[in-house]
Structure formats: structure tokens, C-alpha cells
Chain A
Amino acid sequence: AAGVIQSPRHLIKEKRETATLKCYPIPRHDTVYWYQQGPGQDPQFLISFYEKMQSDKGSIPDRFSAQQFSDYHSELNMSSLELGDSALYFCASSLTGRDVVAFGSGTRLTVV
């Protein structure tokens, strides 16, 4: 079965650079979520989209933005990167009314 696809798997950026993470949800899933997991931390919710519209907002910094496109893939854009942005970034997707929230394999961002 198709899973949530994230790219790239690993990304190294310098401070003050920008980064774009991509996510392709499971086909027919209508909601996409972005999470940030710092070293030794639990995943923290950043933002979600339902049918391409922003649905909920969590602890997403103003330097970050996200959108969902007509083909349902989503991108997380991160600007003015800081050392503290180094983390594992997960995308997840779900279908309204169904129980499973499926996660991608994550993008490991390292800011140097």
C-alpha cells in the first residue's frame, strides 16, 4: 500500500539559509499535518491542511510557512534557518472519519 512520501530524507543547510520540505500524502487522504521533532523530544504539531486549506495551526514559527497544492502534495518552507531548527520533520496524512494517522519517514534537517 502507498505510504506518505517525504523528500528529501536528509538536508544540511547553513544558518540564515532557506529550506523546502516536500510531502506526498497517501492517495485520497484529505488532511496533511506537519510535525517537528527535536533531539530527544516528542513530535510537536506545526500546521495542518484540510482539502488544501489551512486547518489548524500549532507552534509554527513565523519564519516557516506551508501550503498544500492542487495535487494534494504539501511543502514546508523554512527561512532564516537557525541552529535550533535542526530536527526531524514529519509529514502525516489522514482521511476524515478514519482512525489511522500515517506518518512519512521524516526529513532530518541539520542546520550548521
Chain B
Amino acid sequence: AQKITQTQPGMFVQEKEAVTLDCTYDTSDQSYGLFWYKQPSSGEMIFLIYQGSYDEQNATEGRYSLNFQKARKSANLVISASQLGDSAMYFCAMRVMDTGRRALTFGSGTRLQVQP
């Protein structure tokens, strides 16, 4: 079974600063994928970034980057130059990639508030 741990229930950051949201995971599988999603107050689940367990380079997507430390089983999300619109709930998730169609297991989420 997989487990995702997000230890920060809430985070505050000043506009234009960078922020790191923590995520650790536990799995005995060698092939897996790590995902980050953003959930604004309107409720939709927005895909942000993906990291495969065999990817040697950290994933980046615009202002989002994933700090992947495989030995520590961590997959922290870094948001650079925070904007007011980044205020939302952020979920870390993972799935085993044996069949390529396993369901995601989510962490409990981190609520980020960006202050002007």
C-alpha cells in the first residue's frame, strides 16, 4: 500500500516570494509517479506537475518545480514568485506504475495563503 504524508496543514507566504510545500511518501514499489494538484476554493482539481520515480531530473512547469529526493522519499513542491491566485489547497499524490492505470493516493493537503 502507498502512503502520502503532508505535514503542513497550512502555510503563509508573501506575494512574490517562493514557498516549499512538503510531501513524503512510502511505497515498496520501484516504479511510481508523484503528482501535485491545486484545488482552489471553487473545488476543481488542477494538475500541476508530475515526477516519475526513474526520472533523473527534477520536474519543472513554469513557476512550479518538484524537488525530488528519492532516497529520502520526498517530493516537495516549490512555487516561485507566489501570486495571490496561488492561494488554494495543494495535494500531493502518487500511484504505482505497474499497469499504468492505478488510482492515485492523496495526502491530506496543505492550504496555502498568499498575502499581499
Contacts and interface: CB of A to CB of B under 8 A. Distances in A.
A and B part of one assembly: yes
Interface of A: 30-31, 33, 35, 42-45, 48, 50, 55-56, 58, 88, 90, 92, 94, 96-106, 108
Interface residues of B, number: 23
B43 interface: yes
Given A42-B107, A99-B50, A101-B35, A50 B45 contact: no
Interface of B: 33, 35, 37, 43-47, 50, 52, 91, 95, 99-109
Contact of B44 (A48, A50, A103): A103
A45 B44 contact: no
B101 A55 contact: yes
A48 B47 contact: no
A56 B103 contact: yes
B108 A42 contact: yes
A31 B101 contact: yes
Contacts of A105: 43-44
A7 to B, nearest CB: 14
Given A42-B108, A101-B95, A101-B104, 15 more contacts: A30-B101, A31-B101, A33-B104, A35-B103, A42-B107, A43-B104, A45-B104, A56-B103, A88-B43, A90-B45, A92-B45, A99-B52, A103-B45, A105-B44, A106-B45
